[in-house]
Amino acid sequence: MTGPVAVVGGYGDVGAAACRRLADAGVPLRIGGRDPGAAQRFAATLGADHAAVDFTDESSVDTFANGCAVLLNCAGPSRAVGDSLVRGAERAGADYVDVAGDDPLYARLGSTGIRAVLSAGLRPGLTGLLPRALASRAGAVRDLVLQVGVRDRFTRVSAAEYLDAGAARVLAGWDHGPKAGLLTRHEDTELPFFPGTVTAIPLLSGEDERVALALGLVRGEWWSVVHGEHVRAAFGRVHAVDRDEAVAALCRASELDLAGGETSVTIVARAESGTAVLTAPGNAAATGTVAAFAVQAVLRGDVPPGRHYAAEVLDPERLLASDPAIHVEYLAEAATTVEEGVL
């Protein structure tokens, strides 16, 4: 490593979680964002460098990225960031990791001489890594059901990311290939490993299709498990109002549903040969762990030059064992079965 890891949005919830993990590993940091005071205050807690950076200003990005080994983006929403930061990394001769930067950025990036790891977050990210970890333990997987539940606050950025995630196809699944309308939404249902009554919404994303192809799935189902009546109601109306109102509605609804309760993430991957259950204390902890691991993999030279999705280039079992904040329990074949059409 010839320079620090420069973290855009390093004092936000996700950025701070990633920075703490990197600092604990002895990685020198440069923490930045649009609020220089917030960057300075948080950097002081880690003994790190700090600087202001605005991803909409090319000269600001170039100054921030100058001399760094890796530029880590924890800012958003990704539609607003676009390719401004990865291009800054290229100009600086630095490698790049993005907690989002999903399919659109991958397509725009094309060939690159730097190491660029995209989708180093929760979904996409952990949701592509857990099925691979299960397959590495359980052997060939033909049928997969993946369920993701997040009990956490929507920030303005995460709410905007949700609204921008239009590429995921609702009610679609995988049956020898992507199939629209394969599945139906389940209201007021109960699921193993998820407390209380939930709504389960089937979604098929680009990451899900890549998992299906990589594992050679015959059938696959991916479900978003929604807790709380206020968020469920907000999901039903956000596309009927303007963007600012929709963002505010999601943030307000998540606060009401959490109401002093603890944040949590649960991801369940079920195959015919076993089940993997991942739990984490919240979105920031889960995403920060993936981002920090991706940065360290780049620094170690474990990632070849070029553009990569995190779930396809990182070692899933090593990542999942890298941080005690993420707990994974593997259940034997006898503990579960996968039946067509059954959650």
The mean per-residue pLDDT over the stretch 250-274 comes to 92
Q: pLDDT value at position 343?
A: 56
The neighbouring-strand residues paired with 332 are none
Whole-angstrom CA distances from 99 to 64, 72, 331 are 18, 8, 29
Structure tokens at 301: 């030279």
CA 136 centroid distance within chain: 21
Rounded-to-5 percentages of helix, strand, coil across the chain: 40, 25, 30
The mean per-residue pLDDT over the stretch 35-39 comes to 96
Is the pLDDT assigned to residue 341 strictly greater than 90? no
The neighbouring-strand residues paired with 219 are 143, 175
The mean per-residue pLDDT over the stretch 64-93 comes to 95
Q: Is 116 helix (H, G, I), strand (E, B) or coil?
A: strand
Distance between CA atoms of residues 322 and 300, nearest Å: 15
Pairing of strands 264-271, 219-226: unpaired
CB atoms within 10 A of CB 222: 28
For the stretch 8-33, pLDDT in tens is 999 999 999 999 999 999 999 999 99
Instruction: Give the DSSP H or E segment for 262.
Output: none
Q: pLDDT value at position 149?
A: 95
Distance between CA atoms of residues 309 and 142, nearest Å: 22
* 54 contacts: CB under 8 Å, gap ≥ 6: 34, 60, 61
Distance between CA atoms of residues 207 and 209, nearest Å: 5
Distance between CA atoms of residues 71 and 90, nearest Å: 10
Q: 166 or 117: whose pLDDT is higher?
A: 117
Residue 279 · residue 98 · CB < 8 Å: no
Of 20-24, 26-30, 242-246, 293-297, the poorest mean pLDDT is in 242-246
pLDDT category of residue 333 using cuts at 50, 70 and 90:
low
Q: 151 or 343: whose pLDDT is higher?
A: 151
pLDDT category of residue 219 using cuts at 50, 70 and 90:
very high
pLDDT category of residue 320 using cuts at 50, 70 and 90:
very high
Q: pLDDT value at position 164?
A: 76
| Average pLDDT taken over every residue of the chain | 92
For the stretch 88-117, pLDDT in tens is 999 999 999 999 988 889 999 988 999 999
Is the pLDDT assigned to residue 273 strictly greater than 90? no
Q: pLDDT value at position 1?
A: 56
Distance between CA atoms of residues 211 and 127, nearest Å: 9
Q: pLDDT value at position 167?
A: 59
- φ/ψ of residue 174, rounded to 5: -125, 125
DSSP calls for 215-284: HT-SEEEEEEEE--HHHHHHHHHGGGS-HHHHHHHHHHHHHHHHTTPPPEEEEEEEETTEEEEEEES-HH
The neighbouring-strand residues paired with 221 are 145
pLDDT category of residue 339 using cuts at 50, 70 and 90:
very low
Share of the chain above pLDDT 70, in %: 96
Residue 328 · residue 126 · CB < 8 Å: no
The mean per-residue pLDDT over the stretch 246-264 comes to 91
Is the pLDDT assigned to residue 266 strictly greater than 70? yes
pTM higher than 0.75 for the full model?
yes
Q: pLDDT value at position 280?
A: 97
Domains and their CATH numbers in the chain: 5-118 (3.40.50.720), 126-283+324-335 (3.30.360)
Q: pLDDT value at position 76?
A: 86
CA 215 centroid distance within chain: 20
Of 153-162, 197-206, 222-231, the poorest mean pLDDT is in 153-162
Structure tokens at 203: 């979604």
